[in-house]
Amino acid sequence: MPKLNRFTIEIETGETGTDLPVHFTINNHKMPLEDTQGGVGPAETFSGGFEIGSFVHSLTLVGPESGQWDVRKIKMDYDCEHTPPYSVVFDTVTLDDTTEVNIWQDPPLPTWDV
Amino acid sequence: MSVLKKLSQMFSGSDSKQQVAGETVSEDPKPSDSPSAFAEEPPVHRRVIQASVIAEEAKASGSSDQILIKAEPSRDYEQCKFMVNRPLFEGHSWLFSNFEEAAGSPLAEAVFSVESVETLLVHESTAVVTKTGAKGLSDWEALAKEVGGVLRKTLKAETDLVSKDIVAKIPAEEVVKEEIQKVIDTEVNPGVAGHGGNITLTAITGNTVTILMGGGCQGCSAADLTLKQGIHGAFRKAVPYVGAIYDETDHAGGLNPYYR
């Protein structure tokens, strides 16, 4: 597992939005996102990030404290040590006060032309 | 969370991560904005759910008059997949377990001519190679260049890439399906049932088999071993003309894995 220096997240909200702040968990520690922009209302786009500087066992986006949150798309940009930066897009998911969604993906496999 | 509660949890052996109804549930640590660190606060249990990833598989692409080959080693470097922008074995798949089995199939003969190639699996426009000896990234980089070279040379020759005898051996899909299902019912599932696991046949395409690992097998840390040494072996022994075997299980979403 690589050391994650920093990640940025861009969240597109669907029909049902929620309230700020948006929290994530890193290895089960709940944190607010930093450098945030935008909103999490219906059809709004929100972005943020965090300097992690640690090894990731789990990374999740935490659901709202109450009600539901329709997430249309989550785009993650990862900056890991010894690995070129990479991005992953997660598909639609609905979160509530009982759920959090995984937002960690291992770096892609090396691929080259032969 | 209060100190008393934390101590109580420590002595009761419970952890901040619990398996509830087979799902990973974490105790949600609230941000430290409460007025007192000792204030009683009910823990919030959240299920970790998986959203599907929108991704495009890496494929060799480019103008059709060029033979393009992309190499991709597996994460554990046990094998390397070669993706070609030409069909290698359309509609079917075949595992060449050794050099002798390659006889009569120009593609396999060429790949086995490369030193340290151990096995070759051909399916549609991909070839998967395993090797003997060291298996680091640099080892695959060197070998992949050679394999890419012989693949390209064979494709340029425009001959039948796989022996017609092999194609003749492969029966109709219904026969493959029936025989694989029989192996699952009589050998595989009774074997994994002891660990609460089960295997489901989800698709047969030509002689290519796709399965789903459920129950205790889904997410089990020994699932890969079970698949490669148990299931592959049982399938290939009972149904020798089976080609590629794929596991489409989402192991991250396992509800009650045997080993975790």
Structure-block tokens of residue B185: 């019912």
pLDDT at B22: 37
For B:26-65, CB contacts with A below 8 A are: 26-31, 44-55, 58, 60
Q: Please, which pLDDT band fits residue B23 given cuts at 50, 70 and 90? A: very low
Give the number of other CB atoms < 10 A from CB of residue B167. Answer: 13
Q: Report d(CA B23, CA B131) in Å as an integer.
A: 38
Of the two residues B97 and B260, the one the predictor is more confident about is B97
Residue of B nearest to A76 (CA): B53
Judged by average pLDDT, the poorest of B109-118, B199-208, B212-221, B230-239 is B212-221
Residue B145, SS3? Answer: helix
Q: pLDDT value at position B13? A: 40
Q: Which of A101-110, B170-179, B239-248, B251-260 has the weakest average pLDDT? A: B251-260
**What HEC string does B116-129 produce?**
CEEEEEEEECEEEE
Is the pLDDT score of B20 beyond 60?
no
Over residues B30-59, the mean pLDDT reads 63
Dihedral sign for Cα B80, B84, B86, B91, please.
positive
**Residues of chain A falling short of pLDDT 50:** none
Give the B window 137-176 contacts with A, CB below 8 Å: 137, 141, 144-145, 147-149
| pLDDT over 60 at B138, yes or no | yes
pLDDT tens string B76-119: 899 999 999 999 999 999 999 999 999 999 999 999 999 999 99
In this model, does residue B11 exceed pLDDT 60?
Answer: no
Give me the pLDDT at residue B72, please.
Answer: 95
Report the gap between the CA of A108 and the closest CA in chain B (Å): 9
Mean pLDDT of chain B: 81
* A20 reaches B (C-beta below 8 A): no
Q: B54 vs A91: CB contact, 8 Å cut-off?
A: yes
Q: What is the pLDDT of residues B148-204, one digit of tens each?
A: 999 999 999 878 899 999 999 999 999 999 999 999 999 999 988 888 888 999 999
In whole angstroms, give the CA distance from residue A47 to residue A9.
Answer: 5
This complex has an ipTM of: 0.86
- pLDDT at site B255: 60
Q: What is the pLDDT of residue A89?
A: 95
Q: Is the pLDDT of residue B141 over 70?
A: yes
Alpha helices in chain B (DSSP H): 3-12, 106-112, 137-157, 164-169, 173-183, 189-192, 223-225, 232-238
pLDDT over 60 at B27, yes or no: no
The reply to whether A75 touches chain B by the CB within 8 Å rule is no
